[in-house]
Amino acid sequence: MAELVDAPDSKSGHFGGVGSIPSTPTKNKMQILRNLYNWTLLKSHHPKARWFLCIISFVESSFFPIPPDIILIPMVIAKRASAFFYAFLCTISSVLGGIAGYCIGYYFYNSLGFLIVNYYGLADQFNNFEQYYTQYGIWIILGAGFTPFPFKFITIASGVFGLNIFLFISISIIARGLRFYLIASLLKIFGKIIENLIDRYFNILASLFFILLFGSIVILKFL
C-alpha cells in the first residue's frame, strides 16, 4: 500500500510533502510523528545527533513538553552499539535540566516558574501539592522520573518547596537512569523485534504514549 507522505529526503533531512489523498487531522499528526521517527533514524549517525539528544533531554526536565524517549528510541534502534552511551547522555542531560528546573522553582517561581506550570494548567495544584510533597517527596521524584509524568512539574516543585538539592540530584539520577537505561537495554537486546513492532503498530504505540503523557497531567489536575 503506497505511503501518503514521502519519506524524508536523505540529503536534505527535510520531510516530504503530503500526497494528493486527503487525510484526517489525526492521520496527519500521526504521519508527522512517523516522519519525525524516520528522520531521527536517518540522522542518528550524524556527529551532532548526540547534541540534539542532550538538548531535548535537558529542556524536557525544565519546560519542554516532549520527552526525550521519542528521540532516544530511534537513535538506539539505528545504532544499538551506542545504546548505553545514549542512555548516559539522556540521564546526565535530564538531571542537569532538572537542576535548572529546581533553580526556576527556587529563585524564579513567581515569574518564570509560574508561567511554565500555568502553561500546563497545573498552577492551582501547587496549593494542594505541598502536603503530599512534604510526606512523599522522594517517591514522587522517583515516580515522575521513571514514568511519562511531566518531570518539569516535579523539578520546579522541588525548588519551590526547598527539597535538599543534593537529595534531589541523587534521586533524579536514580529515576532517570533507571528509565533511560531500561529503554536502552531492551532496545539493545530486542532491537530488531522492537523495530518491527514499531513499524507495524506505530500509530497505536504513538497514541498510547501520548495518552500516558497527557493522562498523567489530567490525573494530577484532579488529585
- Return the H-helix or E-strand segment holding 221: helix 202-222
pLDDT at position 169 is: 96
Q: What is the pLDDT of residues 32-79, one digit of tens each?
A: 666 766 776 676 777 788 898 999 899 988 887 778 888 898 889 888
| pLDDT at 14 exceeding the cut of 90 | no
Residues with Cβ within 8 Å of residue 65, at least 6 apart in sequence = 120, 150
pLDDT at 91 over 50: yes
Q: What pTM did the predictor assign?
A: 0.73
192-205 average pLDDT score? 77
Three-state DSSP state, 5: strand
pLDDT: which is higher, 134 or 19: 134
Q: Identify the residue with better confidence: 154 or 2.
A: 154
What backbone torsions phi and psi does residue 5 show, to the nearest 5 degrees?
Answer: -125, 135
